[in-house]
Chain A
Amino acid sequence: MVRPVNSLTVAALVALLPGLVAAQSWTDQPVDPSEHQEEVAVDYEDEGRYYTADDVPTYNIAEDGTVDWLTFSGFRRYHAECHVCHGPDGEGSTYAPKIKNSAVLMDYYDFYDTVVNGRANGNSVMPHFGDNPNVMCYLDDIYVYLKARGMDAVARGRPAKKAAKSEMIQEAENACMG
């Protein structure tokens, strides 16, 4: 039962970290990937989507560097919807924090909630994307991509090799985008 304890600790830490909410500096809370390996480990696959033992979406990188479809798709969607504030590759900017680290340090459900509802701290404001299909239909994609970035599991830039898009992922996308 190490996992739930960790999760709670992380959630509590997140609430206290000014760097994550205030976005006042370029120096966000760093991530040490070795401390988070258990939280991102793949437990099972469901037609091209990968999950942890807690049913949280996660990335899957093959030994030859091939990334799962969601990680690749997340790279694309991130660089359309998010990078104009959070900078290339989740690396942060003069304007907004290193969101690649937030994806590791924040609980999945908190991350999801922040994207859906937004949040504000003085003049630092994260918008709400809950009614934006270009974000909501790809939120797991963006999440696992950023988590892979925060864990240094994928390098900066466009992933060179990607797994094919499964039929189930395509069907879900069609249904969501309308």
Chain B
Amino acid sequence: MKKLFAWTSVLAISAIGAASANEALMSEIDNPDQWAIQTGDYQNQRYSALDQINKDNVGDLQVAWTFSTGVLRGHEGSPLVIGDMMYVHTPFPNIVYALDLADEGRIKWRYEPKQDPNVIPVMCCDTVNRGVAYANGKIFLHQADTKVVALDAESGEVLWEAQNGDASKGETNTATVLPVKDKIIVGISGGEFGVRGSVTAYNMETGEQEWRAYSMGPDEDILVDPENTTHLGEPVGENSGTNTWEGDQWMIGGGTTWGWYSYDPEADLVYYGTGNPSTWNPAQRPGDNRWSMTIMARDPDDGMAKWFYQMTPHDEWDYDGINEMILTDQEIDGEERKLLTHFDRNGLGYTLDRISGELLVAEKFDPAVNWTTGVDMDPESDTYGRPEVVAQYSTEQNGEDVNSTGICPAALGTKDQQPAAYSPKTELFYVPTNHVCMDYEPFRVSYTAGQPYVGATLAMYPAPESHGGMGNFIAWDNIAGEIKWSIPEQFSVWSGALATAGDVVFYGTLEGYLKAVDSETGEELYKFKTPSGIIGNVMTYTHEGKQYVGILSGVGGWAGIGLAAGLTNPNDGLGAVGGYAALSDYTALGGQLTVFALPD
């Protein structure tokens, strides 16, 4: 009966079309039996109300079934489950499989787009893709070559296509899309190719472009109201997207938008972050480089910005601001607040009021972070909201052709895109992190369209004087701004976490383990080694009354490139070289979905 009902409701939605609030989509997302959106929910909490698998029985978990994707390369993101269907995606060539869970996972349809392989090498750091989205009976795929495709969820038939960018200029895509109301919100990659980042909305039913908001440029390009769009409570004023740049550098200014997107239906605001300004040589782009490295809150109807917060003005280390914005409602000092929590690449965990954009907390979520002494929290100060930069670690102050050493974190950040989870039961955030530092030497580069535009050399190594590993999995209190507990890991934790009502938190490791830990204490309750390293995100769903946990294996991405051969520390001198673990000694390529369940 349940099965029949699910399909009927899907068909009904298709027939009616999108309601303005799209309550049908929201009820699909809210149904804990499904995993209808990559981020678990609009709030990006990655929390499931399912509790059949809990901290008392998770130790009995077994592999229920597996599925090979047929593709090597890095597998990020996760499958979706809607009704009886599971939708599995792959890295380039971006195949989508529709698996019928009611028929032992038979492949009901598959879709493989035709893409120019020349897009492959202009994707910085592997051909990953963070998964498909679902709304109104459609599956939305955003391909590597930036084509957005709407597929009929039942048949796989192409309903519409839209070309978002131009791969010959280095514009590519790795991200999923966000379905909101009657639109699909879409980002872009290519910050290392001098792409000017933007976010674009397409009509969910027709694929027509509705608005585009650039990260930098004239006011009409970046969709701001100089009087009413605010930065830390003050109007941004006119020309805010050009007046902190020298000359026309903003036209190749970066600020790409390849991370995760969240949505607050009540406030009707979409939240996301922008990436690094290009080039990596800060001397070539004087000024704050607004609005790179910025948290943005926009109206999904017309793209108009409500508020911005630039975390790292004038980036000197490649600390992209694209990581997820996790929306929670919590009490601070006896007052119920609507919060946004963000773990930035720069190593600071930020808590903001998501309605006003007020900065509440900014604290290091890895004690190794050393490029800043902290953020000025005094609203009366001239430098309110700015991080104080430590001169020794400033690649700008040290200058071009100088190797700045011992900077923590490394360019991949204390955390990259791998999304954290939040449990409303513990009010803790569970954060996969990198524990890696770097040497960074900027130098002059020239721009050629479609060619890398980097301008810095860097060497990375595990954080010195620590546990020797390259990662931690931490629990974070976003109101106190404190680490509650921290699990050292040999490699960076590059997998998205999942928290459940069963008081369990799941995450994957680069060696390939799926791990389950106690949400209160971090105690390890279960682990299983999957066939390849994990850079995918853990998801859960129910089928015929039984809870399952799914994870994509398939090592790759930035982690696979940087860590495959192991890291060396040039400052350790001769003899220590090769002393750190090489990921290639632990795992090899291969895309596979592993689905776990309790024994019957």
Interface residue from B557, B560, B561, B578 paired with A156 (Cβ < 8 Å): B578
Q: Are B122 and A127 in contact (CB under 8 A)?
A: yes
List the A side residues contacting B560 at CB < 8 Å: 93-95
Q: Does A4 contact B (CB under 8 A)?
A: no
Contact A125 B117, CB 8 Å, known A132-B452, A134-B445: yes
Which of A31-39, A52-60, A73-81 contacts the other chain? A73-81
Residues 101-138 of A at the B interface (beta carbon under 8 Å): 118, 120, 122-127, 129, 131-135
Give min CB distance, A82 to chain B, whole Å: 9
List the B side residues contacting A158 at CB < 8 Å: 403, 439, 459, 570
Interface residue from B457, B568, B584 paired with A75 (Cβ < 8 Å): B457
Give min CB distance, B275 to chain A, whole Å: 15
Contact A94 B121, CB 8 Å, known A76-B457, A81-B454: no
Q: Does B443 contact A (CB under 8 A)?
A: yes
Q: Does B589 contact A (CB under 8 A)?
A: yes
Chain B interface residue count, Cβ-Cβ cutoff 8 angstroms: 54
Interface residue from A89, A127, A132 paired with B565 (Cβ < 8 Å): A89
Closest Cβ neighbor of A118 among chain B residues: B121
Q: Does A140 contact B (CB under 8 A)?
A: no
Q: Does B282 contact A (CB under 8 A)?
A: no
Complex: how many Å from CA A78 to CA B452?
12
Of residues B280, B460, B574, which shows the largest number of chain A Cβ atoms within 10 Å of its Cβ? B574
* B431-471 to A contact mask, C-beta < 8 Å, 1/0: 00000000101011110100111111111100000000000
Interface residue from B127, B448, B459, B556 paired with A133 (Cβ < 8 Å): B448
Contact A85 B446, CB 8 Å, known A131-B451, A134-B451: no
Q: Does B283 contact A (CB under 8 A)?
A: no
Closest Cβ neighbor of A126 among chain B residues: B121
Q: Does B159 contact A (CB under 8 A)?
A: no
Q: Are A84 and B192 in contact (CB under 8 A)?
A: yes
Q: Does A7 contact B (CB under 8 A)?
A: no
Closest Cβ neighbor of B445 among chain A residues: A134
Q: Are B577 and A156 in contact (CB under 8 A)?
A: yes
Contact A134 B452, CB 8 Å, known A88-B460, A126-B121: yes
Q: Are A25 and B451 in contact (CB under 8 A)?
A: no
* B406-442 to A contact mask, C-beta < 8 Å, 1/0: 0000000000000000000000000000000001010
List the B side residues contacting A79 at CB < 8 Å: 457-459
Contact A157 B564, CB 8 Å, known A127-B121, A127-B122: no
Closest Cβ neighbor of A98 among chain B residues: B565
Complex: how many Å from CA A157 to CA B573?
10
Q: Does B124 contact A (CB under 8 A)?
A: yes
List the A side residues contacting B583 at CB < 8 Å: 94
List the A side residues contacting B555 at CB < 8 Å: 94
Q: Are B441 and A87 in contact (CB under 8 A)?
A: no
Q: Are A95 and B561 in contact (CB under 8 A)?
A: yes
List the A side residues contacting B452 at CB < 8 Å: 80-81, 84, 132, 134
List the A side residues contacting B564 at CB < 8 Å: 26, 87, 91-94
Interface residue from B72, B122, B403, B456 paired with A80 (Cβ < 8 Å): B456
Contact A85 B574, CB 8 Å, known A129-B451, A131-B451, A177-B446: no
List the A side residues contacting B561 at CB < 8 Å: 83-85, 87, 93-96
List the B side residues contacting A156 at CB < 8 Å: 568, 577-578
Closest Cβ neighbor of A157 among chain B residues: B570
List the A side residues contacting B445 at CB < 8 Å: 80, 134
Q: Does A24 contact B (CB under 8 A)?
A: yes
Closest Cβ neighbor of A24 among chain B residues: B72
Contact A95 B126, CB 8 Å, known A76-B443, A125-B118: yes
Complex: how many Å from CA A83 to CA B455?
13
Q: Does B93 contact A (CB under 8 A)?
A: yes
Q: Are B577 and A25 in contact (CB under 8 A)?
A: no
Complex: how many Å from CA A95 to CA B126?
6
Q: Are B126 and A94 in contact (CB under 8 A)?
A: yes
Give min CB distance, A90 to chain B, whole Å: 9
Contact A157 B459, CB 8 Å, known A92-B565, A95-B556: yes
* B516-560 to A contact mask, C-beta < 8 Å, 1/0: 000000000000000000000000000000000000000111001
Complex: how many Å from CA A26 to CA B570?
24
Give min CB distance, B190 to chain A, whole Å: 13
Q: Are A88 and B443 in contact (CB under 8 A)?
A: no
Q: Does B125 contact A (CB under 8 A)?
A: yes
Give min CB distance, A55 to chain B, whole Å: 28
Residues 1-31 of A at the B interface (beta carbon under 8 Å): 24-26
List the B side residues contacting A131 at CB < 8 Å: 448, 451
Closest Cβ neighbor of A23 among chain B residues: B72
Of residues A25, A92, A94, which shows the largest number of chain B Cβ atoms within 10 Å of its Cβ? A94
Residues 120-164 of B at the A interface (beta carbon under 8 Å): 120-122, 124-127
Q: Are A94 and B74 in contact (CB under 8 A)?
A: yes
Closest Cβ neighbor of A120 among chain B residues: B117
List the B side residues contacting A75 at CB < 8 Å: 457
Q: Does B32 contact A (CB under 8 A)?
A: no
Contact A26 B568, CB 8 Å, known A93-B560, A156-B577: no
List the B side residues contacting A78 at CB < 8 Å: 457
Complex: how many Å from CA A26 to CA B445?
31
Q: Does B567 contact A (CB under 8 A)?
A: yes
Complex: how many Å from CA A1 to CA B49?
76
Q: Does B92 contact A (CB under 8 A)?
A: yes
* A142-157 to B contact mask, C-beta < 8 Å, 1/0: 0000000000000111
List the A side residues contacting B574 at CB < 8 Å: 155
Give min CB distance, A93 to chain B, whole Å: 4
Give min CB distance, A25 to chain B, whole Å: 7
Of residues B92, B117, B452, B588, which shows the largest number of chain A Cβ atoms within 10 Å of its Cβ? B452
In the assembled complex, 30 residue pairs joining A and B whose CB atoms fall closer than 8 Å, in A order, are A24-B589, A25-B588, A75-B457, A78-B457, A80-B443, A80-B445, A81-B452, A83-B561, A84-B125, A87-B562, A88-B562, A88-B568, A91-B565, A94-B555, A94-B560, A94-B561, A95-B73, A95-B74, A95-B126, A95-B560, A118-B121, A132-B451, A134-B445, A134-B446, A134-B455, A157-B569, A157-B570, A157-B577, A158-B570, A177-B444
- Can you add 7 more A-B contacts, CB < 8 Å, to A94-B556, A155-B574? A76-B443, A88-B459, A93-B564, A127-B121, A134-B455, A135-B451, A157-B570
The 7 closest A-B pairs by CB, nearest first: A94-B560, A91-B565, A127-B121, A157-B570, A132-B451, A79-B457, A93-B561
